[in-house]
Structure 1
Amino acid sequence: MPADSDGPKATTTRGDGQRDRRSDPVVLFDMDGVLVEGDGSNATVHARALTDVLEDPEIDLDHAHLSDLSAENRETLEAYEYTPAFETVCESIEIDPADLYRRREAYSADRIVDRIRAGTRGLYADVDAISEVQNQCVTGVVSSNYDAVVAFVLEHFELDSFAFARGRSPGVDGFYRRKPNPYYLTEALEALDSTEGYYVGDRASDLVAAERVGLEPVLVRRPHNEALEPALETYIEIETLAELSEVV
């Protein structure tokens, strides 16, 4: 069941009258499905990115092998996930799987940026309410989308009030550091010199990652997650970001 808000967190004061920054709560936000409309990037970007990387003249490919690539194997290489099947197909065409995956993800990031720039996705209407939270707390963005996409979104939509922003690195390491792995949330807390706060997400994996790093999980309801029933026993649920200032 969602937890009730405990109200603002107290901060401690040192003998010299200065606050202990590590006791100040921070508020971190997921990007896709929380700030940017929709639950993620269109899957077609990865298929098109594969074409981009296979046509990249800097990559030495045996096109005789590529011409024999079955539709099933091509779909495996187009999929977002890095899997044993992906490795097997790459080995069959004598391509290093980690290198191909990293290069394809870099092209995926470029294509996602192009789609957002073209207006396929915008911000949720309640994003403006974050300014109220920023009057109370330090805020940041931590996303499982690519770091280059996060940087573009913040610049494109002029979201310049976040103290920290991080997406995942392209490649195998970045793939395995996605939520619910709290790797990038931990990085954010270290960068902001904080040990407590809230993480606002739209997926179960967001809530689990928050719990693992010691943050209060906050679920914001969106059209795409109306049926979501998180398995966590304790989390905060809000219907809109406008409610968040009352929580923190």
Structure 2
Amino acid sequence: MTYDSLLFDVDGVLLDFHPEHPTAYRQAVEETFDAFGISPSTADVDAFIAGATIEDMRRVCDNLGVDFTRFWPEREANTSSLQCGMMDCGERVPYDDCSVLFDLAEHHAMGVISSNQHATVEYMLEYFEFAHLFETVYGRKPTVEGFERTKPDTYYLERAMADLDVTDGLYVGDSACDVRAAHAAGLDSVFVRRSHRTEYDLPEDPTYEVTSLTVLPDLPGVTADS
């Protein structure tokens, strides 16, 4: 089989993490609470960082007397602005092996599907001059519904596949939810085991496991003449 498309996650695949990830994003949450005149506790802010759920975030806002429906889009905008600023000052940059994307784009339809904010993803692709390589791009909408549709939900993956009119795609990610989402959407998967995933356990086997994007052209079904 030859893959008719290559789809990529962003964070940890194309773009490296901030050295203090995920705690670096506390600033965006604190700024959002400040806009509502609230001084949150450490536990309140923690509910909005790694592994956050809508239920926990809504509960914190309710306890502090903050309208969650107003808080959420403000938080999304502040988080996106913070991340774009990190790119501007060189705190977040693409991995060196992203250089292979230019060759891959000559032979494959390509897309980006990320659980990060759509505004952040678009900024990253434009800022680092990758935008022209991808025919479809999806980050999450700055709404509660958009957050609930992030991986392992297949919503954005399926939208990208429909845009490209493809069925035999390969999704490249760096997490268990990437692998689960790919397989649920009928795609094969590539797990990129970078340095931040050295001891990371995968409950579901990916189709392929690599340590660098430079290996992608050598995978079965991903060939220079496809």
Report the Cα offset of residue 156 of structure 1. Answer: 0.7
Does the C-alpha gap of structure 1 residues 130 and 41 become closer, same or farther in structure 2, counting only changes over 3 Å? Answer: farther
Which structure has the greater CA radius of gyration?
A: 1
Distance 1:46 1:126 in 2: 26
The runs of at least 4 aligned residues of structure 1 exceeding 6 Å deviation read: none
Partner of 1:18: none
* 8 A Cα contact 1:139 1:163, kept in partner: yes
Q: 1:52 aligns with which of 4, 13, 31?
A: 31
The 1:76/1:234 distance shift into structure 2, 3 A limit, reads closer
Q: What aligned pairs does 1:192-203 form with structure 2 within 5 A after superposition?
A: 192-203=164-175
Identity between Structure 1 and Structure 2 (%): 31
Query: Paired residue for 1:220, among 162, 185, 192?
Result: 192
Q: CA deviation at 1:246?
A: 2.0
Residue number in structure 1 paired with 2:208: 236
Structure 1 residues 170, 141: closer, same or farther in 2, change over 3 A? same
2:98 is aligned, of 127, 130, 151, to 127
Contact kept? 1:45, 1:112, Cα under 8 Å: no
One-letter amino acid of the structure 2 residue matched with residue 35 of structure 1 = L
User: Could you say what secondary structure the match of 1:194 adopts?
Assistant: coil
Tell which deviates more after alignment, 45-54 or 133-142.
Answer: 45-54
TM-score under structure 2 normalisation? 0.86
Q: 2:170 corresponds to which letter in structure 1?
A: Y
State the Cα distance separating 1:234 from its structure 2 match. Answer: 5.0
Q: Does the 8 Å CA contact 1:46/1:105 hold for their aligned counterparts?
A: no
- Of the three residues 78, 95, 98, the one matched with 2:69 is 98
Corresponding residue number in structure 1 for 2:45: 75
RMSD: 2.3
User: Taking structure 1 as the reference length, what is the TM-score of the superposition?
Assistant: 0.79
Deviation, structure 1 residue 237:
1.4
SS in structure 1 at match of 2:133? coil
Kept after mapping to 1: 8 A contact 2:101/2:133: no
**1:209 aligned residue (169, 181, 191):** 181
Query: Equivalent residues in 2 for 1:1-248 (5 A)?
Result: 8-9=2-3, 25-38=4-17, 42-56=21-35, 61=36, 63=37, 66=38, 71-72=41-42, 74-76=44-46, 78-79=48-49, 81-159=52-130, 160-247=132-219, 248=222
Superposed displacement of residue 169, structure 1: 1.3
Pair 1:73–1:245, CA change in 2 (3 A):
closer
* Letter in structure 1 aligned against 2:29: L
Distance 1:77 1:237, change over 3 A: closer
CA–CA distance in structure 2, aligned partners of residues 92 and 227 of structure 1? 37
- SS of 1:121's partner is coil
Q: Contact 1:82–1:172 at 8 Å: present in 2 too?
A: no
Distance, in Å, in 1 between the alignment partners of 2:215 and 2:89 is 31
> Which residue number in structure 2 is paired with residue 16 of structure 1?
none
Structure 2 residue ranges without an equivalent (≥5): none
- Letter of the aligned partner of 1:30 in structure 2? D
Cα offsets for 1:23-70 (capped at 9, x unmatched):
xx11001111111113898334543223333444xxxx5x5xx46x5x
